[in-house]
Structure 1
């Protein structure tokens, strides 16, 4: 039992450890989080198998992801640190996407209500109306096309930051970025189940919301907008995925950590990230309260990821001895007066 709790300690992060290796090496905090999350998903699927559609598939995916998280680090750590870092990126991508898919199954099984009315009322209370309606004065085919393209570049943008940190060999920053992103993913999917909400564009034609939301100008782009919107709607398995705004949360994290990379990536991520955040309102995918919640979570995970890794990793390089200290050490060595 004590060994199990030691396994969950936050300060055991594999990074060329010196001395005796911990018994659970090479599993760091990132791997531990996904092992716990997927164990809970699999256990929930097994307990409520009569209520969850395709529960056998859910349990099988849980076993597969757990196997990936357990086996891949054992392979990559025997190669080199670069392979280990690349493996962590793979684990993050696979686990995050699979969690989104499984969240949809839980929603279908357990959702008893939805909270679109509460979101609309919250927007009215905080902002005096519906901000996505206000953006109708800005609607332009060129702007719509651009924002729709940036909206679907969400995952490539996050991956770009991870790859930039990886190739720059900023392993410590990469680990913290992956940790923050994965915790953000888990919190998003948890709240989608806890607070199911559909997008404004999905409820705009529903008579029960007519007094609170109404769009008079359709969103039309140049070439790809309609195609992308329909494909995105067809590809996503979840309709109740608004609160909090994952696009806002992850874009802010990508911008923050993108500024720890090179100038080109910094510029790309900043422009694309800000565009994505604005597009969530302009394209009628989110309520303004979703953005507020997403931004709050982003700030929290930036802070939490620093705290959780501070015990073992420091983003600052280890200070080197001053020249005078080196000279003094050499003189002591040759004079025979060695320090105690």
Structure 2
């Protein structure tokens, strides 16, 4: 799946002002480079995990370019309508005037904890060189499924897609400002559906429940704050979270509840 999406991304990148020779060369180089890595690296080994990590960030960074190159219709109006159909009004809008500056700072810290959790879990597997195949299968399959949502149903976050609905600016201190800067610099333009923050965090929590119970308890509260922050900080629609939970349950059932029993 990663190889197929990577090839499509390579096509989108190559289409930007280059002729067919440049297009074919870049498709060949970018697609085959990862294929060579797969052939030469050990399944579940450090090199393959790190290679998948690099591809993951490349796909995330390039997903907006691919959407715009292929002129895929954006769907944020449908997501807002789905929220209103389910809840009467989108919870994102219901929260817009409720939280104060201190609450938003706390939620911003929770939202940023996602990056700590992801890299902590990945680095532990890479350093210990244990359960790499099982961990990588769960983590990067979840990423791939999320990227398919970005490409097939692209949508901008609520604050970006509907600025006219947020007449009151998001208040906050240094943490809120820092989180906003990180999202502005790193986030894809159409990364609302589904919520990868929720999908990946649930994947990591399920893994830790079986494999690293201490980290599960350490990251549970930050993860709950992150869940609230996706709505309160105007980064996702409620339906994004619901679909992410549904996707997690489907993948979790497909792989089995206890990964260590398969080791």
Match of 1:221 among 149, 172, 191: 172
Q: Quote how far apart the aligned CAs of 1:37 are.
A: 4.3
Write the deviation string for residues 140-180 of structure 1: whole angstroms up to 9, x where unpaired. Answer: 22221122123233233123223445667652xx4333212
Q: Quote how far apart the aligned CAs of 1:251 are.
A: 1.1
Q: Aligned pair in 2 of structure 1 residues 235, 35: CA closer, same or farther (>3 Å)?
A: closer
Q: Aligned pair in 2 of structure 1 residues 119, 39: CA closer, same or farther (>3 Å)?
A: closer
The TM-score with structure 1 as length reference comes to: 0.66
Question: Within 5 A, what are the aligned runs for 1:153-192?
Answer: 153-164=113-124, 170-171=130-131, 174-192=132-150
Match of 1:104 among 64, 69, 78: 64
Write the deviation string for residues 276-297 of structure 1: whole angstroms up to 9, x where unpaired. Answer: 2211101000000111111111
Q: Quote how far apart the aligned CAs of 1:195 are.
A: 1.0
2:73 corresponds to which residue?
113
Of structures 1 and 2, the larger Rg is shown by 1
Match of 2:218 among 250, 264, 268: 268
**Higher helix fraction (1 or 2):** 2
Match of 1:284 among 234, 245, 251: 234
Q: Quote how far apart the aligned CAs of 1:97 are.
A: 0.9
* 2:161 is aligned with 1:203: yes
Q: Quote how far apart the aligned CAs of 1:124 are.
A: 0.8
2:82 corresponds to which residue?
122
Q: Aligned pair in 2 of structure 1 residues 182, 259: CA closer, same or farther (>3 Å)?
A: same
Q: Quote how far apart the aligned CAs of 1:261 are.
A: 3.2
Confirm or deny: 8 A CA contact 2:154 2:192 kept in the other structure.
Answer: yes
CA distance in 2, matches of 1:301, 1:156: 23
* Aligned partner of residue 260 in structure 1, secondary structure: helix
Write the deviation string for residues 46-101 of structure 1: whole angstroms up to 9, x where unpaired. Answer: 8x955x5677495243333333333333xxx8xxxxxx532333122112111223
CA distance in 2, matches of 1:258, 1:245: 20
Root mean square deviation of aligned Cα:
3.0
2:245 corresponds to which residue?
295
Confirm or deny: 8 A CA contact 1:244 1:290 kept in the other structure.
Answer: yes
* Aligned partner of residue 260 in structure 2, secondary structure: coil
CA distance in 1, matches of 2:14, 2:128: 45
Match of 1:70 among 39, 43, 46: 39
1:324 corresponds to which residue?
none
1:331 corresponds to which residue?
none
2:192 corresponds to which residue?
242
CA distance in 2, matches of 1:149, 1:203: 24
Question: Within 5 A, what are the aligned runs for 1:25-44?
Answer: 33-39=1-7, 41-42=9-10
* 2:198 is aligned with 1:230: no
Ranges in structure 2 where 5+ consecutive residues have no aligned partner: none
The TM-score with structure 2 as length reference comes to: 0.84
Q: Quote how far apart the aligned CAs of 1:193 are.
A: 1.6
Confirm or deny: 8 A CA contact 1:89 1:178 kept in the other structure.
Answer: yes
* Aligned partner of residue 197 in structure 1, secondary structure: coil
* 2:49 is aligned with 1:89: yes
Confirm or deny: 8 A CA contact 1:154 1:247 kept in the other structure.
Answer: yes
Match of 2:152 among 182, 190, 194: 194
CA distance in 1, matches of 2:84, 2:241: 14
Q: Quote how far apart the aligned CAs of 1:106 are.
A: 1.2
1 or 2 for the larger relative contact order (CA 8 Å, sep ≥6)?
Answer: 2
Q: Quote how far apart the aligned CAs of 1:102 are.
A: 3.0
Q: Quote how far apart the aligned CAs of 1:109 are.
A: 0.5
